[in-house]
Amino acid sequence: MVTAICPIVLRVHADDNVAAVGNSGGLPAGTVLPDGIILRRNVPQGHKVALRDIGVDEPILRYRAVIGHATRDIARGDWVDGSALRMPAPPSLDDLPHASGKVAALPPLRGHTFEGYRNADGTVGTRNLLAIGTTVQCVAGVVDHAARRIREELLPRYRNVDDVVALDHVYGCGVAIDAPGAEIPIRTLRNILRNPNFGGAPLLVGLGCEKLQPDRLAGTALTDLPLVRLQDESHTGFASMITAILEAADRRLAQLDTRRRETCPVSDLVVGVQCGGSDALSGMTANPAVGVAVDLLVRAGATAMFSEITEVRDGIAQLTARAATPEVADALIREMRWYDAYLERGGVDRSANTTPGNKAGGLANIVEKAMGSIVKSGTAPIAGVVPAGERADRKGLLFVATPASDFVCGTLQLAAGMTLHVFTTGRGTPYGLAAVPVIKVATHNALAERWHDLIDLNAGTIATGEASVEDVGQSLFALMLDVASGRIRSRAEGLRLHNALAVFNPAPVT
């Protein structure tokens, strides 16, 4: 029985032997797919259908990757549900392809610019922000009060400054600051202070007796940071502390206010991408479109960063093969090993990532989820690896080694130097950051329509056939340049939706 529904089947790669149903209500048994395949059962949206006969134990391919092996003979047109495939063991980190050289550099893309704030160190910001860094959470109450006062009383006088950002966090004391791994939170906080959107000279507020002393936080990278230390004898109480911070802020605001946007090549942009609240369409609509935009950025010479270790672990062979040099492949493997050991120390493994919701939505396992996540990285060679909390030291496509947690990932991408954030979501999350604009991309039309005042771009049109992945990728690239230039404010920015910094500290608290 052939139905009147226009069937949408999303095949990611020509080699794949399964594809997913795009129609929002799924497709009924008997539907004839465009290439003549007849569905043998009802298949829900996001779930997979076999494109050819697959014998028992044969590999099931999606995203040109083995997402499992058939547990039984599967006929062309069958629904390939979770029980039809066996999850593979995690790929060994030995004997991986090392920069096999098959991935050629993408052709250059010229003629695109954005309007940014150029800093003395050569970096370029997308916003002109006064940042108030903190050494320790003890000072957060005072800093929050000061930031509110600055926003209300001082900021209106400095029309060229976009906002004031209080960089509160829960690190800085009551932590094993010399333990293995403690270098991660310390350098994270240091490098966030160096984020290009802060113009190269944030204020710093410290307490006095904290373990993370200002010098240790600043390292050699930050010098002459204006510092207000609350325990200094010059501060005679709360009112005095606030006065000192407001005075320091006033001086800094006057400097920031003289800055103007200037036309910059796209190569000065640093974009971080991640996905959160993923659904079955994430890997077929929004993430591939981000991949297209990432390729455009890389072709234009920009820095594009992808992350989320547990969501690339099963695709590590793809990544090492795409490494620009053997050293980059080695660095990728080193980060996977470190994280494997971190999880093992905590008594879990990579399967801690998937949720029942993922599976109900059509994702068979973490392997399939990973493949749908990795596509955000596009097709360029991987130019470098940034360990958690480090700052990117080169342009091109970079892997920033972070957990998949949205907030931990966002915080670490801020440390890496991100000046624009792209976040894809299927289930929906009202994510936002105070330090950089966040562009949110919906994976399907219903979310984009329902969350009309929270979603910046709808990639759901790919699933309905209204637009191609290439179309949406191009639109995202154009939107990135508009948002980076301040011509458009992202939804989260306009609503002042700010999630807190979540500092990754693998060491004990004490």
Q: Which is nearer to a copy of itself, 190 or 313 (CB)?
A: 313
Q: According to DSSP H, which parts of 300-325 are helical?
A: 316-322
CA-to-CA dists, residue 274 to 291, 374, 469, angstroms: 11, 10, 17
Token reading at 32: 């004839």
Token reading at 221: 């990278």
Q: Nearest distance from residue 243's CB to a copy of itself, in Å? A: 12
Rounded-to-integer distance, Cα 196 and Cα 199, Å: 6
Q: Nearest distance from residue 146's CB to a copy of itself, in Å? A: 11
Q: Nearest distance from residue 504's CB to a copy of itself, in Å? A: 7
Q: Which is nearer to a copy of itself, 75 or 348 (CB)?
A: 348
Nearest alpha carbon to residue 425 among 318, 290, 296: 290
Q: Which is nearer to a copy of itself, 236 or 258 (CB)?
A: 236
Q: Nearest distance from residue 328's CB to a copy of itself, in Å? A: 24
Q: Which is nearer to a copy of itself, 173 or 478 (CB)?
A: 173
CA-to-CA dists, residue 431 to 78, 410, 423, angstroms: 38, 10, 8
Q: Which is nearer to a copy of itself, 354 or 475 (CB)?
A: 354
Q: Which is nearer to a copy of itself, 56 or 352 (CB)?
A: 352
Q: Which is nearer to a copy of itself, 47 or 299 (CB)?
A: 47
Cβ neighbourhood burial of 121 (10 Å; 0-12, 13-18, 19+): exposed
Burial 430-460 (b: 16+ CB within 10 A, else e): bbbbbbbbbbbbbbbbebbeebeebbbbbbb
Report phi then psi at 61, rounded to 5. -110, 125
Q: Nearest distance from residue 432's CB to a copy of itself, in Å? A: 5
Four-CA torsion 240, 191, 117, 497, nearest 10 degrees? -70
Q: Nearest distance from residue 154's CB to a copy of itself, in Å? A: 20
Q: Nearest distance from residue 312's CB to a copy of itself, in Å? A: 13
Q: According to DSSP H, which parts of 198-302 are helical?
A: 214-218, 238-256, 286-299
Element (H, E) at 386: strand 382-386
Q: Nearest distance from residue 489's CB to a copy of itself, in Å? A: 14
Find residue 203's DSSP bridge partners: 132
Q: Which is nearer to a copy of itself, 182 or 270 (CB)?
A: 182
Asked if 439 and 456 count as a contact pair (C-beta separation under 8 A), the reply is yes
